[in-house]
Structure 1
């Protein structure tokens, strides 16, 4: 039975968040496995590099403004997947359908048309 648990443990991945201080509590309430608070450019770059070097990290949640500021590509390799949350007023005006369509296109590779 121990062998089976070890094998399953290999496939368990983590979700982490790399966010500014005002979003740390929100991410913790959501149940994110690890939350990194960034107060400057060096903190963000260090946290992103750390996340990409760890095999157990599957998803990195961060703020869209941080991704845009540092020019980090949202899809570098299969894991971890970087999900950038809109955090500026200009990003919040985007239709939800467009956001979902972009996620599906990026992660599945197909264009999905949603009729409402």
Structure 2
């Protein structure tokens, strides 16, 4: 038994041209290639109004440093914007620091993870 169409949501990606083949290999059929944050922001604004998307994956190097994961997701429930790390320093970033900031921004309290 399959779910009704209104409950099935998809995934798309906004990446630079060199990341497009990777997204296709991961099974993402809807991939938008851009060169800078302005182009990516235009696509995000258009995709934010779609009801058939659950996730929009965005290459992290496209997003300016002053815009956080939380800022990209405060306006709506769906689609959820997920940042894809594409730099070695991002891959070695502490998960504790990431989740501590995420929780602090959402609930307003600092939580120490052990």
* TM-score over 0.5 for the pair: yes
Aligned to 1:62: 58
| Counterpart position of 1:74 | 72
The whole-number CA distance in structure 1 between the counterparts of 2:10 and 2:60 is: 20
Taking the aligned partners of 1:70 and 1:62, their CA distance within structure 2 comes to 15
Aligned-pair RMSD on alpha carbons?
A: 3.2
Contact in 2 for aligned 1:62/1:82 (Cα 8 Å): yes
* 1:36 match: secondary structure: strand
More displaced, 82-91 or 61-70? 61-70
Unmatched 5+ stretches in structure 1 = none
Within-5 A mapping of 1:1-116: 8-68=4-64, 71=67, 73-75=71-73, 76-96=75-95, 101=99
- Greater relative CO (CA pairs within 8 A, separation 6+): 2
More helix by share: 1
Question: Matched residue pairs, number?
Answer: 107
Q: Which segments of 5 or more consecutive residues in structure 2 lack a partner in the other structure?
A: none
Of 55-64 and 87-96, deviating more is 87-96
Whether the 8 Å contact between 1:14 and 1:33 is mirrored in structure 2 is no
